[in-house]
Amino acid sequence: MARTEPVQSIDVAVVSPGDQRALESALVQRYIGGDRSAAHVLHERYYAAASAFLRKLGTRSEEMEDACQEVFLQFFRYLPSFRGDAQLKTWLFRLCITEARRARRRRRVRDTLEKVLGRERARDLAVPPATTSEATLRRRVESGLDRLSEGHRLVFVLLEMEGLPAHQVAELAGCSEATVWRRLGEVRQRCQEMLGLDLPPHEEPV
């Protein structure tokens, strides 16, 4: 029977950045050993990051609960096979990428069926005036991201919004670092064209 004792000897609140890998490893091992409280800590620790990343990848609010549930079902199902050669958060991002693709696929199927059956939802074309310039910018950025291809959006989100290094972005996106920088340059150019944003240059390391 799985144990339900609280996670002992691990103070998540005071762990230093340098001990993140040790904490992750300890929590994973406790979960594999049947400690349900370790699963609870892992879920609380990474849920916000997973939902935020899914949202940046285009998962809609009405899809978020199901998408997060599926991500963590996969997360805990395959956690015993986690080798620890990458950060647990990076591994979680891989699951989010897969689920975001599935969500978009389901959305396309649903929208197609609605059109075929003549039940396409009415869209309100009236855009309320923005109360602040920040709100206007946010809508424009979200609209611009929706127009990007999956590969370009993924590179932009991982590199610019999540702050991952280029080699990790390349691994997650399944492409070379050169392709990562090329896509980023193309996205930034499109941002300037589509959104009227004057973005500062992003220097590629040499």
* DSSP secondary structure string for all residues of 49-95: HHHHHHHHTT--HHHHHHHHHHHHHHHHHHGGG--SSS-HHHHHHHH
Query: Does 31 fall in a domain?
Result: yes
Last residue in a domain, options 55, 85, 119: 119
Q: Are 40 and 112 in a shared domain?
A: yes
Coil, strand or helix at 47: helix
Residue 147: which CATH number?
A: 1.10.10.10
> Does residue 124 form part of some domain?
no
Q: Which residues constitute the domain of residue 174?
A: 131-199
Predicted confidence pLDDT, tens digits, the chain (206 residues): 444 444 444 444 444 555 778 888 889 999 999 998 999 999 999 999 999 999 999 899 999 999 999 999 999 999 998 877 778 889 899 999 999 988 888 777 666 555 544 544 444 444 444 444 555 655 666 666 677 788 888 888 888 778 888 999 999 999 999 999 999 888 888 766 655 545 455 555 44
Type and span of the H or E element at 199? none
- Whole-prediction pTM value? 0.64
Q: What SS3 state is found at 200?
A: coil
* Cα–Cα distance measured from residue 53 to residue 47, given in angstroms and rounded to the nearest whole number: 10
Q: What is the pLDDT, as a whole number, of residue 131? A: 44
Q: For the chain, how many structural domains are there in total?
A: 2
> Which pLDDT does position 9 carry in this prediction?
45
What span, in angstroms and rounded, lies between the C-alpha atoms of 75 and 54? 14
Say yes or no: 7 and 98 in one domain. Answer: yes
The pLDDT assigned to 180 comes to: 93
- The reported pLDDT for the residue numbered 143 is 66
Residue found by looking up tokens 């609380």 in the block: 44
The pLDDT score that the predictor gives to residue 148 is: 79
Q: Tell me whether residue 125 is in a domain.
A: no
Helix (H) or strand (E) holding 168: helix 166-173
Say which CATH number the domain at 2 has: 1.10.1740.10
Say which amino acid occupies 37: S
Is residue 91 situated within a structural domain?
Answer: yes
C-alpha–C-alpha distance, residues 190 and 58, integer Å:
18
Contact predicate 67/103, CB 8 Å: yes
CB of 186 within 8 A of CB of 89? no
Question: 52 in a domain, yes or no?
Answer: yes
Provide the pLDDT for residue 97: 94
